[in-house]
A and B are shown apart, each in its own frame.
Chain A
Amino acid sequence: MSDKVMVKVEHVSMKFNLSSEKFDSFKEYVIKSLKNQVSFEEFWALRDVSFEVMQGDALGLIGLNGSGKSTMLKTIAGVLKPTEGSVHVNGSVAPLIELGAGFDMDLTARENVFLNGALLGHSRREMEAFYDDIVSFSELENFMNVPVKNFSSGMVSRLAFSIATIGVPDILIVDEVLSVGDFRFQEKCERRIQAMADQGTTILFVSHSIAQVKKICDKIAWLESGQLKRFGAASDICKEYEQS
């Protein structure tokens, strides 16, 4: 594959403030500051993580719950800004982080296609070109004029997946979303991701299913309590991860 760096993560640290007693009102803030009780507990979700992803790579992020995988993906997607360090992303990003986040439940599926497309930065005209493809991939031909609030969760995620994966993005971010839908649709999603990878899309993949990671990824970043434990070829690290 080519050696163009698509994602460059440099010394990224992410700090969250866990306020010991959560306050979100002005009144409480004033009272607590007068009493001198405003204190924060710091929590570092990521600490000094650096790696690079080349064009065409499929990078899997593995680790236990709370090891910082999702935080890592969110900093790459631009949702979170790292407290320290920097993330450089080269090209368009299609985030598949929690499907259906951008849906407005009162709007119909059809209207949501355009709304969600706009969230990903596509104009109405672009979305019209992809519209038939989205409908047929999600297999929701008969439901496009139904408000999304009447959809089952499987239908919502099918629609969301179809919208998020239109075209060929430079980078695709997949966070735990393949666990939705029936297994036939899961296979369909995997095939689509594979097809994108074949066309040169860089893939960042998070899953707890080590089998899926093995199938899709060729490189792996293993995170443990916010630190990068291992980074390298998939086959070696998978073995090590399974044994640990």
Chain B
Amino acid sequence: MSAYIQNFIKFQPLLGELIARDIKIKYRRSVLGVLWTLLNPLCMMIVLSVVFSNIFKFDIENFPLYILSGQLIFNFFSDATTSSMSSIVSSASLIKKVYVPKYLFVISHIFSSFINLMASFTALLLVMTATRTELHWMTLLAPVPLLLLVLFSLGVGLVLAAVTVKFRDIMHLYSVFITALMYLTPVIYPMAMLPEWLTGFVMLNPITNIVLMFRNVMLYNTFFGWRSLFVAVVETGIMLMIGFWVFYKNQDNFILNL
């Protein structure tokens, strides 16, 4: 175990460089540069707010914020897992030639998605201030569901990255899966709208729990409850363990399939 930790410390600078590279390349050659990280979600949110407060109306108080908060969570999950899925395959040329702990590639992708998540979160706060929504003290608890979400995505990302090395078409299957998953998460519709038989399904989705926790503290000024927290922690823990286990079991074979 200590050998693993030593190895991680040795390659820690690499993690920093990989994350910096992701961010730099994304916004290279644009005048506003890294500022786009913030501007992009902000513009998206403004468009969505305008659309959903004028065209579509569910019977939900403050509907634009309802959607934005749900999207923030789900977009991160979708981004982080999709980009970490291809992380090993796209670093093939490197993995074949230099020894590098391979999980670093997955972690670096999760991390750069996390930076985008922070930007979206800031944008959400800006939109909330602009629409004069009250900011509550409970907002300070928002990092809890976000952190759980990041770790959960890491677990999923590790599994996907390992499986994709062997079966490339998982990438296409996954994009279908993630669309289905989005409709199984209460991002645009309220939970109350669902028929009873479907509610069970939607609650089984771990992202649902996190979205509800996040909305509770951000919009409704209520604590998300110990039960939700417990469920989320257990789900995240299990997913992380599965992720690291699958990845660890397969990592020596990556090079043979790349």
Contact status A102-B98, CB under 8 Å: yes
Partner among B25, B94, B167 whose Cβ is within 8 Å of the Cβ of A119: B94
Contact status B169-A16, CB under 8 Å: no
Interface check B200, CB cutoff 8 A: no
Contact status A25-B169, CB under 8 Å: yes
Contact status B255-A79, CB under 8 Å: yes
Contact status B255-A26, CB under 8 Å: no
Contact status A79-B10, CB under 8 Å: no
Contact status B21-A26, CB under 8 Å: no
Contact status B10-A101, CB under 8 Å: no
Q: Which residues from B are CB-within-8-Å of A80? A: 255
In angstroms, how far is the closest chain B Cβ from the Cβ of A118?
4
Q: Which residues from B are CB-within-8-Å of A35? A: none
Interface check A27, CB cutoff 8 A: yes
Alpha-carbon gap, A187 to B38, bound state (A): 51
Interface string of B95-113 (1 = CB under 8 A from A): 1111110000000000000
Kindly report which residue of chain A lies nearest to residue B165, judged by CB atoms.
A24
Contact status B11-A121, CB under 8 Å: yes
In angstroms, how far is the closest chain B Cβ from the Cβ of A102?
6
In angstroms, how far is the closest chain A Cβ from the Cβ of B252?
5
The count of residues in chain A whose C-beta lies closer than 8 Å to any C-beta of chain B is 32
The listed residue with most B CB atoms (<10 A of its CB), out of A78, A93, A104, is A104
Q: Which of A50-58, A107-115, A191-199 contacts B (4 or more CB under 8 A)?
A: A107-115
Partner among A81, A95, A123 whose Cβ is within 8 Å of the Cβ of B13: A123
Contact status B14-A118, CB under 8 Å: yes
Interface check B33, CB cutoff 8 A: no
Q: Which residues from A are CB-within-8-Å of B17? A: 114-115, 118, 124
| A16 with B256, Cβ < 8 A, contacts A79-B96, A95-B98 known | yes
Q: Which residues from B are CB-within-8-Å of A131? A: none
Interface check A33, CB cutoff 8 A: no
Q: Which residues from B are CB-within-8-Å of A77? A: 98-99
Tell me if B's interface is mostly helix, strand, loop or mixed. helix
Contact status B93-A101, CB under 8 Å: yes
In angstroms, how far is the closest chain B Cβ from the Cβ of A112?
9
Interface check B173, CB cutoff 8 A: yes
In the complex, chain B residues 211-258 whose Cβ is within 8 Å of any chain A Cβ: 252, 255-257
Contact status B16-A121, CB under 8 Å: no
Alpha-carbon gap, A29 to B163, bound state (A): 13
Q: Which residues from A are CB-within-8-Å of B100? A: 119
In angstroms, how far is the closest chain B Cβ from the Cβ of A85?
14
Interface check B28, CB cutoff 8 A: yes
Contact status B99-A106, CB under 8 Å: no
Contact status A95-B169, CB under 8 Å: no
Contact status A29-B167, CB under 8 Å: yes
Alpha-carbon gap, A8 to B17, bound state (A): 33
In angstroms, how far is the closest chain B Cβ from the Cβ of A160?
11
Alpha-carbon gap, A118 to B97, bound state (A): 15
Kindly report which residue of chain B lies nearest to residue A126, judged by CB atoms.
B13
Alpha-carbon gap, A114 to B98, bound state (A): 16
Interface check A238, CB cutoff 8 A: no
In the complex, chain B residues 164-196 whose Cβ is within 8 Å of any chain A Cβ: 166-170, 173
| A101 with B13, Cβ < 8 A, contacts A78-B99, A111-B24 known | no
Contact status A104-B25, CB under 8 Å: yes
| A26 with B170, Cβ < 8 A, contacts A114-B17, A115-B17, A118-B14 known | yes
Contact status B169-A97, CB under 8 Å: no
Contact status A95-B168, CB under 8 Å: no
In angstroms, how far is the closest chain B Cβ from the Cβ of A195?
23
| A107 with B25, Cβ < 8 A, contacts A25-B169, A26-B170, A102-B94 known | yes
In angstroms, how far is the closest chain B Cβ from the Cβ of A101?
4
Alpha-carbon gap, A29 to B257, bound state (A): 14
Interface residues of B (CB under 8 A from A): 10-11, 13-14, 16-18, 21, 24-25, 28, 93-100, 166-170, 173, 252, 255-257
A sample of 13 cross-chain residue pairs with beta-carbon separation below 8 angstroms, ordered by A number, consists of A24-B166, A25-B169, A79-B98, A97-B97, A101-B96, A101-B97, A102-B97, A106-B28, A114-B17, A115-B17, A118-B18, A121-B13, A123-B13
Interface residues of A (CB under 8 A from B): 16-17, 24-27, 29, 77-81, 93, 95, 97-98, 101-102, 104, 106-107, 111, 114-115, 117-124
The 9 closest A-B pairs by CB, nearest first: A78-B99, A26-B167, A25-B169, A118-B14, A101-B97, A118-B17, A123-B13, A118-B13, A81-B252
Kindly list 11 other residue pairs between chains A and B, CB separation below 8 angstroms, not including A104-B25, A118-B13, A121-B13. Answer: A16-B256, A26-B169, A79-B95, A79-B255, A80-B255, A106-B28, A115-B17, A118-B16, A121-B10, A121-B14, A124-B13
